[in-house]
């Protein structure tokens, strides 16, 4: 939240959560609880949901539920253009600029072409998407999933799978993440995908941090030795420990310089499990 606010002084930022949390006032975060955002449409989804995933029932079902909460929140807050940001995904630009780059006027949905919704931008309304999710459990897509050995093939029937099919349905109204030019939206920091990585077993992409306007700005180095400005980075696993240590509103130049030095030299890996394993501590 602090990193998001550092780049967005004027936009409204909402935390959709199960319960209220103590959040520093200077971040100016508005909390909406799931109880406040409950709808009959979401209840219909809960009755329709069927579990076809190796992930836990509660986890997979909530991945769908969040879109119903987001739909309710966008209406509750009267938002014409809004974005969904996972708690382990960071943006490094102003939302107005992200809108210009990722959500042109003829586009209603922007998320990854593989369904990745870690950063997703929407225009006006997502009722078509949530309705499609409800109906998906009676669709041919679901029936075919039932016939497949989804556990062995590591293919869960999840919100991302449904969002891929929805993107095909809405056609030109959907736009995938940026894949060319000078910008990139990084979906998973733990997959190589043609960028320079840190040495070691985890294969984390190596971020080259620069200081611009007293903020840490991430760049990824391609195989052809071209630096691409990252608009968003999605951290997973042990790399999540880093996401609270990049940018804060009004951070000093000295603090920013120290962070740049550290993050450019130390990979985002939790080494304690490796040490425990080598010491035979389990």
Decide which of 175, 208, 236 is a domain's last residue. 175
With residue 2 as reference, give the H or E element that holds it.
helix 2-7
Q: Where are the beta strands (DSSP E) in the chain?
A: 13-17, 29-33, 81-85, 89-91, 109-110, 119-123, 174-175, 183-186, 207-212, 215-221, 227-234
Q: Which domain holds residue 234?
A: 183-278
Do the beta carbons of residue 108 and residue 170 sit within 8 Å? yes
Same domain flag for 10 and 149: yes
Do the beta carbons of residue 71 and residue 55 sit within 8 Å? no
Do the beta carbons of residue 237 and residue 243 sit within 8 Å? no
Same domain flag for 199 and 157: no
Same domain flag for 218 and 144: no
Same domain flag for 136 and 190: no
Do the beta carbons of residue 159 and residue 117 sit within 8 Å? yes
Decide which of 175, 201, 228 is a domain's last residue. 175
Same domain flag for 73 and 211: no
Same domain flag for 101 and 171: yes
Rounded Cα–Cα distance for residues 113 and 227 (Å): 23
Who contacts 198 (Cβ-Cβ below 8 Å, separation ≥6)?
Answer: 204, 205, 206, 267, 269
pLDDT tens string 85-131:
988 899 999 999 999 999 999 999 999 888 788 999 999 899 999 99
> What's phi and psi for 221, nearest 5 deg?
-100, 120
Same domain flag for 197 and 92: no
Q: Please tell me the total count of domains within the chain.
A: 2
Rounded Cα–Cα distance for residues 109 and 22 (Å): 32
Ordered per-residue pLDDT tens for the chain, 282 residues? 899 999 999 889 999 999 888 888 889 999 999 999 999 999 999 999 999 888 999 999 999 999 999 999 999 888 889 999 988 899 999 999 999 999 999 999 999 888 788 999 999 899 999 999 999 999 998 888 887 766 556 678 999 999 999 999 999 999 998 866 889 888 778 777 789 988 876 778 899 999 999 999 999 999 899 999 999 998 876 667 777 789 999 999 999 999 999 999 888 765 555 555 556 665
């Amino acid at each position: 939240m602090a990193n998001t606010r550092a780049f967005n002084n004027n936009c409204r930022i909402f935390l959709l959560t199960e319960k209220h949390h103590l959040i520093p006032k200077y971040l100016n975060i508005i909390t909406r609880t799931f109880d406040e955002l409950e709808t009959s449409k979401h209840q219909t989804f809960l009755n329709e949901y069927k579990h076809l995933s190796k992930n836990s029932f509660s986890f997979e079902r909530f991945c769908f539920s969040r879109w119903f909460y987001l739909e309710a929140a966008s209406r509750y807050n009267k938002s014409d253009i809004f974005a969904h940001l996972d708690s382990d995904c960071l943006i490094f630009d102003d939302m107005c600029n992200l809108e210009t780059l990722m959500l042109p006027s003829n586009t209603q949905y922007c998320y990854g072409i593989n369904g990745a919704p870690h950063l997703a931008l929407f225009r006006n309304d997502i009722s078509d998407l949530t309705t499609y999710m409800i109906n998906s459990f009676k669709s041919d897509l679901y029936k075919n999933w039932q016939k497949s050995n989804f556990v062995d093939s590591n293919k869960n029937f999840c919100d991302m799978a449904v969002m891929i099919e929805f993107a095909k349905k809405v056609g030109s109204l959907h736009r995938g993440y940026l894949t060319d030019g000078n910008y990139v939206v990084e979906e998973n920091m733990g997959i190589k995908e043609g960028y320079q990585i840190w040495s070691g077993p985890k294969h984390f992409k190596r971020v080259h941090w620069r200081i611009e306007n007293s903020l840490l700005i991430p760049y990824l180095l391609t195989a052809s030795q071209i630096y691409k400005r990252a608009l968003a980075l999605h951290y997973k696993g042990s790399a999540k420990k880093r996401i609270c240590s990049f940018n804060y509103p009004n951070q000093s130049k000295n603090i920013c310089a120290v962070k740049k030095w550290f993050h450019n030299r130390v990979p985002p890996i939790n080494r304690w499990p490796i040490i425990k394993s080598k010491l035979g501590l389990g």
